[in-house]
Amino acid sequence: MFTTPAEIYEHSFRIHATRPAVREDDREFTYRDIWAWSDATIDLLRELGVGPGDVVAMYAGNRAEWIVFDTAVARLGAVKTPANYMSALDTVLYQLEFAGASVVITDYELGSALAERLASNPEAPAGTTTPGRPRIVQLSDPAGRTIPGAIPFPEVPGADYTPRAGEIPADPDVRSQLNFTGGTTGRPKAVAHTRRSAAAAFYIQMIEADIAVGEQMLVMSPLAHAAGALALAGIGRGATVRILAAFDAQRVVDLLIEEGITWTFMVPTMIYRVLDIIDALNELPDLRLRTIVYGAAPMSPTRLEHGLRIFGQVFIQLFGQTEAPQFCTRLSKLDHDPARPHLLASCGNPTLFTFVKVTDDTGAELPLGELGEITVKTPFALTEYVGNPEATAEKFWDGWVRTGDMGVMDADGYVYLKDRRNDMIISGGFNVYSREVEDVLAGHPQVAQAAVIGVPHPDWGEAVHAIIVARTVPEAPLTDAALIEFSRDKLANYARPKTVEFVAELPQTPFGKIDKKALRAPHWEGRDRSIG
């Protein structure tokens, strides 16, 4: 078994050399192209003084160079830290400094502001671990614009170039990447993974995401996050990765029809918008689509049933986190079964090589059906939160990773998430799980999206507050009274929304999750309660 990503990449480069590896709207690259381009990138990084163990960052929009960056850094034996283009610039600057990135690869759009901010910062004092100002490598710009002082990213070597074999780091148990958490409860934490854990994650993604050789994979969410990891698993498998610069529902539908896409990854809000467009067509299109992987947030059972009617049993749900990436559990295609509707509320059962249990506040395993914290043991878990031994100690229980998600497990091993520990609402002494309330509200035919939070209440401590994106029905607009009445027979009195707010859209984190921290903030401003 290969124990480093570099081995997986080189194997795929060799056996799929002539196959298309990456496609964009106006560019296409074979596996041989990516292999040669990866060589050229390694050479540039070495010229810049980057060696094994040094940190290299990438901060750019979705484009083929993400694949090149990942393969080059892995083969060089350096440490990658991917920065999400949807993150605030202050967050990216914090990441670069904390990680100690010596080089950052970026595009003109994002890199111009980054370079300006870096130039305004003093160099790091001698003897500190901060990098000061990392060297900037700029990706090609269609308009020919350049960032002053930036080093150009290499071009693809010509057809006469022979790609190098044997760029394989020796030790699988050293650090390979620093990924940063979403920072929903404070500063993002730096999550360290080894080459071995990264390779294990590749195998799990290939198997559990049902990625086949020759797959036509469409990715459009930020390649710095889960979409990038799945795209790289596709490269390791011999797929063709079709990259979109950003999500556009109509464009996705067009590509599904016109380019014969067979596999895609979307967060639930994307799926909802695609479903709405397909619903409006005169007839269902003839698609080759066989797999939709979704994650980052749960789909409402009502919308999931809708998707099954449109696409069939093509869905795979993933559950994981930065600390144990993507696939701790999965709800398989066969489990997306209209004949077993209770499973649609589940996030599935444990994946290959992964153990899952539900624990109490001491780490003791709870009986089946009892509510507790989802805890996992897997070969693709983090080694530590860098520079944060307290958080590391709190994250682990005797080798098991605490996910921070509350749920139950049934007799067949299916896990049902109830809430994030920080999202649970305590109203009048009763625990209210926002996920359950959201699923009920999403069952109303005029609700497009629902988010539920706790807001201050003088008697109950917290009251249930629903924030709704409604479907437009001019002749009968949805009202708060109608929605509360809809929930009357479906929720206990203490769990029903006491107030409803209608919005045009819900804020999202850079990782595609509903940003409940932002939703709670105006309600709890100036109060003692944490809104993490």
Q: Give the DSSP H/E element, type plus range, for residue 500.
A: strand 499-502
Which DSSP state fits 88?
-
- Looking at residue 317, its amino acid is Q
Give the CATH number of domain 427-524. 3.30.300.30
| Beta carbons within 8 Å of 470's beta carbon, 6+ residues apart | 446, 447, 448, 477, 478, 502
Q: Which of 97, 119, 115, 94 is nearest to 106 (CA)?
A: 115
Q: What was the pLDDT predicted at 289?
A: 97
Q: What was the pLDDT predicted at 21?
A: 98
CB 345 within 8 A of CB 301: yes
Burial class (CB in 10 A: 0-12, 13-18, 19+), 24: middle
Residue 465: how many CA atoms within 13 Å on its side-chain side? 20
Give the CATH number of domain 25-165. 3.40.50.980
| Residue with token string 């998430």 | 417
d(CA 39, CA 34) in angstroms, rounded, equals 9
Over the range 129-156, which residues count as b (16 or more CB within 10 Å of their CB) and which as e?
Answer: eebebbbbbbbeeeeeeebeebeebbeb
**Looking at the domain 216-420, which fold is it?**
Rossmann fold (3.40.50)
| Residue with token string 């484009």 | 63
CB 240 within 8 A of CB 217: yes
- Return the percent helix, strand and coil in the chain, to nearest 5: 30, 25, 45
d(CA 105, CA 91) in angstroms, rounded, equals 16
Q: What was the pLDDT predicted at 77?
A: 97
Q: What was the pLDDT predicted at 532?
A: 30
Write a three-state SS string for 122-190.
CCCCCCCCCCCCCEEEECCCCCCCCCCCCEECCCCCCCCCCCCCCCCCCCCCCEEEEEECCCCCCCCCE
| Beta carbons within 8 Å of 502's beta carbon, 6+ residues apart | 468, 469, 470, 478, 480
What one-character-per-residue DSSP string does 194-231 give?
EHHHHHHHHHHHHHHTT--TT-EEEE-S-TTTHHHHHH
What one-character-per-residue DSSP string does 333-368 give?
TTTS-TTSGGGGGS--EEPTT-EEEEE-TTSPBPPT
Each residue's pLDDT tens digit, 248-290: 999 999 999 999 999 999 988 899 899 999 998 988 889 999 9
Residue 28, token pair as written in the block: 């296409």
| Residue with token string 């709704």 | 468
pLDDT of the chain along its 532 residues, tens only? 899 999 999 999 999 999 999 999 999 999 999 999 999 999 999 999 999 999 999 999 999 999 999 999 999 999 999 999 988 898 899 999 999 999 999 999 999 999 999 988 755 433 333 445 899 999 999 999 999 999 999 999 999 999 999 999 989 999 999 999 875 556 789 999 999 999 999 999 999 999 999 999 999 999 999 999 999 999 999 999 999 999 999 999 999 999 999 999 998 889 989 999 999 898 888 999 999 999 876 687 888 999 999 999 999 999 998 999 889 999 999 999 989 988 988 999 999 999 999 999 899 999 999 999 999 999 999 999 999 999 999 999 889 999 988 899 999 999 998 877 777 787 866 778 788 888 889 889 899 889 999 898 877 778 899 999 998 777 788 999 999 999 988 887 888 999 999 999 999 877 677 888 889 889 888 664 433 3
- Angle, alpha carbons 133-136-138 (nearest 5°): 165
What count of other Cβ atoms lies within 10 Å of the Cβ of residue 259?
14
CATH 3.30.300.30, the chain: domain bounds: 427-524
Residue 264: how many CA atoms within 13 Å on its side-chain side? 27
Q: What was the pLDDT predicted at 120?
A: 85
Q: Which of 412, 404, 413, 344 is nearest to 374 (CA)?
A: 404
Q: What was the pLDDT predicted at 472?
A: 76
What count of other Cβ atoms lies within 10 Å of the Cβ of residue 81?
23
